[in-house]
């Protein structure tokens, strides 16, 4: 069987790849398993040296990798470069901090000596999505490798070129052979990979459906998992918000990666006193964004990653309008080739509509009218998702209180749009998943937290 890279801006086939056979997949897993003991015993200074080298490879080839991202999933050039730079940043972060994160912890007890050490588990399988085809991989691989684990990557089937390029980056950086490998296989083969006894843990970023399937399979064998799944992030706009600043943040948050991000703003929950001006400013700002060829330097919005995803998004928009949502901008299929979608603003969105209940993966903003702060918090939390949320108010203490105690999400921001940062833990609750990536919390997800007691 084969898998193809298709340019979403043109619909043209870039390259066709042969899917790995069962025999080749097994051989790769065995090779990575054999490499595990050597990598486990490599001292932390050498691990850091290799990881720093990976950061240099990324920075030295930023344009090459950025253009690969564009060809396979359509991210605009400036954002593609930023993604590669962020990957280098996370490599440097763990190269510089892993030793302190993993240092044994002395815990006073009645023993002569008692302490905790952090040991690698073995092979960590990463099942990764196409929307941030480099960042999502490095986000799990950098801490997992620095903790002494080896890594296998099962990437999304529409970005095989990115998957192989990442394997080559670790090789070029000098990592021992088979420390990190890519498996070119489709999703229906993931269960067999999880079943392999050499796989000790699994991390997945993707849809709720995929997360449930992978978590169930791994859980049936008691293999550790981390799940970063979908989101329908709520942005609460209170009556004292600075609307000009808030709308600018909301537009950037909604349109990051052409709207194809789990932590993109999805639902704008606006108190009644602000609704008309918020709608006006949001529509005006969205209308000014440039949708064009992602290779052009001034392009802000590119195509969606695939035609089928664009069509699914349009169906969600149309069903929401049929159910009573009002379309203030867009809502139509653009003419021409490629998986482009017109920037769209829906208002009067209510519970039961796809624009409220489901994740809209594309440049579509949903505005929800509420009466006051209490009603806004209720609407924000009235979701199966709990990845990110934000609140906008001139009263920072009020915003901090709401973000800390009222909003149900793993990442809550005040007067800013939600984003990931290597220094901060990242992850969700409810149907947005469990476990944490990044910071010292992320590197400790895939280790054996071993207690030592010496009498």
Q: Hey, which residues are catalytic here?
A: 228, 262
Measured CA to CA, the distance from residue 226 to residue 435 in angstroms comes to: 5
| CA dihedral over 412, 416, 419, 422, signed as positive or negative | negative
Using only C-alpha atoms, the chain has a radius of gyration, in whole angstroms, of 23
Residues 6+ apart with CB under 8 A from 10: 337, 338
Residue showing tokens 């897993």: 29
**DSSP reduced 3-state for 300:** coil
Report which secondary-structure segment, H or E, holds 14: strand 13-18
The distance of Cα 205 from the centroid of its chain, to the nearest Å, equals 6
d(CA 235, CA 233): 7
Tokens representing residue 345 in the block: 């603003």
Closest CA to 135 of 260, 234, 235: 260
Contact 334, 341 (CB under 8 A): yes
Q: How far apart are CA 59 and CA 189, in angstroms?
A: 33
Answer for the pair 264, 254: CB distance below 8 angstroms, yes or no: yes
Any idea which residue has 């793993």 for tokens? Answer: 410
Locate 217 and state its tokens.
């399979």
Half-sphere exposure of 367 (CA within 13 A, CB side): 27
Residue ranges with strand state E in 214-297: 224-228, 233-237, 265-271
In order of 30, 45, 223, 235, 353, the CA distances from 69 in angstroms are: 30, 32, 32, 29, 33
Helices (H), 61-110: 62-73, 77-101
CB 313 within 8 A of CB 341: yes
DSSP state of 37: H
Torsion sign (Cα): 329, 331, 336, 340: positive
Give the helix/strand (H/E) hosting 58: helix 44-60
Q: Taking Cα atoms as reference points, which of 313, 246, 320 lies closest to residue 279?
A: 246
Q: Which helix (H) or strand (E) holds 433?
A: strand 433-434
């Amino acid at each position: 069987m084969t898998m193809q890279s298709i340019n979403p801006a043109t619909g043209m086939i870039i390259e066709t790849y042969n899917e790995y056979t069962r025999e080749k997949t097994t051989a790769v897993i065995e090779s990575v398993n054999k490499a595990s003991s050597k990598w486990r015993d490599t001292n932390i200074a050498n691990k850091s040296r290799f990881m720093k080298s990976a950061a240099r490879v990324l920075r030295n080839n930023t344009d090459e990798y950025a253009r690969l991202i564009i060809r396979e999933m359509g991210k605009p050039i400036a954002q593609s470069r930023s993604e590669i730079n962020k990957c280098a940043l996370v490599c440097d972060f763990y190269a510089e901090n892993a030793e302190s994160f993993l240092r044994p912890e002395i815990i006073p007890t009645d023993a002569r000596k008692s302490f905790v050490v952090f040991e690698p588990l073995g092979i960590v399988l990463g099942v990764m999505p196409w929307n941030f085809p480099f960042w999502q991989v490095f986000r799990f691989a950098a801490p997992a490798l620095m903790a002494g684990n080896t890594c296998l990557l099962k990437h999304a089937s529409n970005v095989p070129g990115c998957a192989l390029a990442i394997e080559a980056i670790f090789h070029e950086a000098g990592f021992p052979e088979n420390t990190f490998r890519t498996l070119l296989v489709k999703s229906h083969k993931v269960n067999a990979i999880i079943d392999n006894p050499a796989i000790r843990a699994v991390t997945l970023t993707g849809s709720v459906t995929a997360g449930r399937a992978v978590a169930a399979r791994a859980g049936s064998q008691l293999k550790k998992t981390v799940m970063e799944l979908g989101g329908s992030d709520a942005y609460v706009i209170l009556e004292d918000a600075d609307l000009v600043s808030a709308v600018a943040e909301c537009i950037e948050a909604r349109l990051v990666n052409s709207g194809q991000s789990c932590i993109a703003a999805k639902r704008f929950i606006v108190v009644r006193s602000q609704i008309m001006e918020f709608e006006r400013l949001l529509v005006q700002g969205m209308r000014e964004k440039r949708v064009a060829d992602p290779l052009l330097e001034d392009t802000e919005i590119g195509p969606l990653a695939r035609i089928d995803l664009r069509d699914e998004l349009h169906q969600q928009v149309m069903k929401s309008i049929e159910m009573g949502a009002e379309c203030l901008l867009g809502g139509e299929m653009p003419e021409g080739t490629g998986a482009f979608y017109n920037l769209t603003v829906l208002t009067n969105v209510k519970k039961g509509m796809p624009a409220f209940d489901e994740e809209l993966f594309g440049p579509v903003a949903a505005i929800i009218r509420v009466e006051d702060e209490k009603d806004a918090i209720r609407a924000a939390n009235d979701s199966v998702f709990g990845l990110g949320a934000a609140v906008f108010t001139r009263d920072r203490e009020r915003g901090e209180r709401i973000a800390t105690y009222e909003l149900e999400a793993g990442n809550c921001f005040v007067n800013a749009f939600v984003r990931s940062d290597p220094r901060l833990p990242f992850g969700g609750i409810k149907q947005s998943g469990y476990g944490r990536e990044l910071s010292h919390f992320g590197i400790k997800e895939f280790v054996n937290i071993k207690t030592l007691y010496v009498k």
